[in-house]
Structure 1
Amino acid sequence: MRIENWWPLLDSSTQQWLINNNGDVVPLSVLDQIMAVAGQPTADASWVGDNVREGFFLSDEAIDWIEKTANDEVSEGE
């Protein structure tokens, strides 16, 4: 599932956390909420970035999309 599809299903506090902390390690509580609506992250999901020792990161594509969304730059086609 693409970020455009699961984003509206998140509660507003989770969306705000992702906007305020865009590019940071995603805490398990936030990742759990994403997985509740988007399913398990798979390597081919466009929103999945690195899962390293420090934690889980969203992909560069997802980070850019969140930034555009925060700035009201996302068009209907994206």
Structure 2
Amino acid sequence: MDIENWWPLLDPATRQWLMDNNGDVVPPGVLDQITAVAGHPEVDASWAGDSVPEGFLLSDEAIDWIEDTANDEDSAGG
């Protein structure tokens, strides 16, 4: 499932965390919420980045998408 499909299914606090901490290691609780709506990332999932010792990272594509979405929400809301 692509980020465009699961993003609206996340609760607002999770979406806000992802926008505020875009590019950071995704904490287990946030990752649990993502996988609850999107399923565990397949090897070719466009939103799945690397797993590093610190935890899970979103892909560069997903980070860019979230940044664009955050900018659109800021424009619409302000």
TM over 0.5: yes
| Cα deviation 1:35-76 (Å, max 9, x = unaligned) | 000001111000000011111000000000000000018xxx
Spell out structure 1 runs of 4+ moving beyond 3 A. none
Structure-to-structure mapping, 1:1-78, within 5 angstroms: 1-72=1-72
Taking only the aligned residue pairs, the percentage that are identical comes to: 77
Query: Structure 1 CA distance, aligned partners of 2:24 and 2:72?
Result: 21
Query: Structure 2 CA distance, aligned partners of 1:36 and 1:15?
Result: 14
TM value normalised by structure 1:
0.91
Structure 2, unmatched stretches of 5+, are: 74-78
TM value normalised by structure 2:
0.91
Query: Structure 2 CA distance, aligned partners of 1:60 and 1:43?
Result: 15
RMSD, aligned CA = 1.0
Query: Structure 2 CA distance, aligned partners of 1:15 and 1:47?
Result: 14
Q: Which of the pair is proportionally richer in helix?
A: 2
Structure 1, unmatched stretches of 5+, are: 74-78
